Amino acid sequence: MKRIFTVLLAMLFAIPMLIAQAPSIILVTPDDRDDAQYEWLLRQGFDVTKFYPGALSAAGQDTIDMLNAADLIIVGRSPNSGDFDGDDKPAWNNLTAPLIINSQWVARSNRINWFESNNAYHMNLSPALAYGVVSDPSDPIFTYVDLMEGDSVGWCYPPHDFIGNDSATNGEILVSFAGRNPLLVRFDAGVEFYPGSVDMPAGPRTYFGIGNDNLDFDNPNFFPLTKEAKAVYLAEILRLVGEPVAAPVVAPADYRITLITDDDQDDVQYEFLVRQGFDVTKFYPGALSAAGQDTIDMLNAADLIIVGRSPNSGDFDGDDKPAWNNLTAPLIINSQWVARSSRINMFESTSAYHMDDGPAVAYGMVMDPLDPIFDGLTLDGDSLAWCLPPHDFIENNDSASNGEFVAVFNETSPLVVRWDAGVEYYPGAGDIPAGPRTYFGFG
């Protein structure tokens, strides 16, 4: 019933877009490297056309008219910045349609000249999460964002590109990174981009800089926004096309999963998660207790952390144990050995064990067949064929637990257990998770 209600609610939110003609967006991109954004725009209900005019100064009036007829033009991250200088610069600035530019390199003074700066630069490996500082939290585009202390918001994942700008601007800087790097800037029509720029837009403009292909050209990071930043981006798009602010339509691709694994032995799970459409990143911090705050922030910014089966359980005891338990992001642990009381301490048991030769199929006993995770599955009584050998399990005997047992093997070996944030794993454990936790052991 809850799932049906959620679907119906999503459909109701979509009705206004369906009744009226969907706003038309032209995504200016020469290839498929902006497709993550393209697909996201389609999910939001926009009528999106990918188009690349090449040298706009050489285009016919029909191309100019087509661009100006759009409700919004977005110059994606992939275009070559060299197509926006010389005679092409005024051609783009003279378009009357609202326009967003994503590329830091296109926005430079030696290209389209939105900033008095030619200093676009790469930060390929850090920070693990870039935070944007919001200048005006009351702006409606932040309606669906919970700002952190200091009016900051987790903005984008590495690798990053930014444009450094210490000069005056006639634009309204709404979000910036590290003081001097604009992330979101609005410019009014008919006003110079900055004092003395001479260049001015013929229509409303927004700079919304994202993306990097310097670290991996073949797999560019061109739509690296957090869910919060995507909500801001959607709100700014809706403002430019004259629509009220709305919550984003969310799909698996909008959920970022960090798979904690130190090698390729969890790649079967990684590939499974990718097939489901999730945004999955493999990462291994080593000793989390020695990691910097940027790593902690990056992990907490994930929609879900999965500690795969491959990590060494020794990385989850001692000072590392509270470091993992203090993460606020939802977290799943796959390893029976990590879950032991001598490690992260989910169970009052040190007894993880192997069953290398059998059973041929391990059956899980389902504690609540009405739990939504079993929807669409055929149970044999209350049991379900669970996993194939060789097996590992954790023996919990009859020890008490504050978790909710969802499925067990052989009565005393938990397969799936859930814990609420802020509650001891078991009476007297001492260890308490700061966010939701699930044990889903296998392998």
* CATH code of the domain covering residue 161: 3.40.50.880
Mean pLDDT of the residues in the chain: 94
Number of domains in the chain: 2
pLDDT at 55 over 50: yes
How many C-beta atoms surround the C-beta of residue 60 within 10 A? 9
Domain boundary among the residues 175, 210, 240 is at 240
Q: Say how far apart CA 154 and CA 263 lie, in whole Å.
A: 28
Is 208 in the same domain as 284? no
Judge if 289 and 234 occupy the same domain. no
Evaluate if residue 332 carries a pLDDT over 50: yes
**Residue 318 and residue 235 share a domain:** no
pLDDT tens-digit series, residues 79-130? 999 999 999 999 999 999 999 999 999 999 999 999 999 999 999 988 989 9
pLDDT of residue 6: 43
In whole angstroms, what is the distance from residue 434 CA to residue 183 CA?
31
Per-residue pLDDT band for 397 (boundaries 50, 70, 90) equals: confident
Please, are residues 383 and 410 in contact by the beta-carbon 8 Å criterion?
no
Same structural domain, 111 and 195? yes
pLDDT for res 400: 83
Which pTM does this prediction carry? Answer: 0.86
Q: Are 303 and 359 in a shared domain?
A: yes
259 with 212, same domain: the answer is no
Question: Which domain range does residue 304 map to?
Answer: 255-440
Strand partners, 101: 75, 207
Give the per-residue pLDDT at 10: 47
Which of 240, 269, 301 represents a domain boundary (last residue)? 240
Q: Checking DSSP bridges between strand 120-123 and strand 99-101, what pairing results, if any?
A: unpaired
Residue 18: pLDDT above 70? no
Domain C-terminal end among 212, 240, 268: 240
Residue 293 and residue 213 share a domain = no
Indicate whether 337 and 233 sit together in one domain: no
Q: What is the pLDDT of residues 144-178, one digit of tens each?
A: 999 999 999 999 999 999 999 999 999 999 999 99
Asked if residue 365 is part of any domain, the answer here is yes
Mean of pLDDT values over 63-78: 99
pLDDT at 19: 39
Q: Alpha carbon of 274 to those of 224, 257, 325, 387, 396: distances in Å? A: 16, 10, 26, 21, 32
2 found inside a domain: no
DSSP annotation string for 266-279: THHHHHHHHHTT-E
Element (H, E) at 280: strand 279-283
The predicted-structure confidence for 308-321, as pLDDT tens digits, reads as follows: 999 999 999 999 99
